[in-house]
Amino acid sequence: RDLYIIPMGAAIWSASEEMMMAFPLYFFLRFFNNHGMLSVDDRPQWRVISGGSQSYVRRMLEDIPEEQQFLNTPVTGVSRTGGKVQVLSARGEREYDQVIFACHSDQALQLLTDATQNERDILGAIPYKMNDVVLHTDSSILPKRKKVWASWNYHIGQKDQDCVAVTYYMNRLQNFHHAPVDFCVTLNKTRDINPDKIIRKFRYAHPVFTLEGMQAQKRHGDISGRMNTHFCGAYWFNGFHEDGVRSALRVTEALGVSLDAGDAG
């Protein structure tokens, strides 16, 4: 438990040991079974996108006319009146027929100025937790024996209530075989990193899955598609990028839009 199940789960969901011990058992076992992680042999091959998530974001933007892109324009409020949706941002207020919240559950709830009770109950049941993330080249934070360096390296020994401490070895994850240095991304164990080897610091939010949250996931239809408002995001399923896509397809289908290959509609 302490050397595999808890560390692996903590690395996958960026959760502390305390949070993993409170994790819904059914959710945990279903995920591990579906991903072949309960057996030693015949595990599926995990894959990554070359260049990271920015690669597919860039590709999506290529198909959207520039005049319809509002980048670096934070939305400050969304309201629904008269069968329309009003979106308030730094550019002023614009009116739309429909709105899709493709963001975190807590962000969507914060933006809704007229949130219904169902929206407050469901979105509020799936909170997010912040994690400190550092991109660096300090390989001393990896295991002492280079032969055991993995794509994900879990740091054992932190207190139960602390945030998860994981270092991702990017040379292996992104096939940087000929890189002159070892690129690492470390979550939360930031004070042990040599300051001179830090490239950049970030703060990312990850969903926290609970029994209450699992029940909320089942109530997607109670809020999405109502009042011209739709919700998608990885938090509706397992918290992965693929889950974000899966939830987005559910919304497009509800809007009568097909994204099948070759469909010009």
The yes-or-no verdict on residue 178 having pLDDT over 80 is yes
The yes-or-no verdict on residue 92 having pLDDT over 90 is yes
With a CB cutoff of 8 Å and minimum separation 6, the contacts of 40 are none
pLDDT for 13 = 82
Please, what's the b/e burial string for 142-156 (b: 16 or more CB within 10 A of its CB; e: otherwise)? Answer: beeeeeebeeebbbe
The yes-or-no verdict on residue 162 having pLDDT over 60 is yes
pLDDT for 157 = 64
How many residues in total does the chain contain?
265
Question: What whole-number distance in Å separates Cα of residue 6 and Cα of residue 8?
Answer: 6
184 neighbors 135 (Cβ within 8 angstroms): yes
Instruction: Kindly report, residue by residue over 74-89, the tens digit of the pLDDT.
Output: 999 999 999 999 999 9
Mean pLDDT of 163-174: 88
For the whole model, what pTM was predicted? 0.84
Return the H-helix or E-strand segment holding 169: strand 166-169
pLDDT for 159 = 57
The yes-or-no verdict on residue 128 having pLDDT over 90 is yes
207 neighbors 216 (Cβ within 8 angstroms): no
Higher model confidence: residue 112 or residue 27? 112
The yes-or-no verdict on residue 262 having pLDDT over 70 is no
Strand segments (E) across 9-151 = 75-81, 84-89, 92-96, 99-102, 128-136
Mean pLDDT of 168-193: 92
Which domains does the chain show, CATH number per domain? Answer: 5-47+128-207 (no CATH), 53-126+208-254 (3.50.50.60)
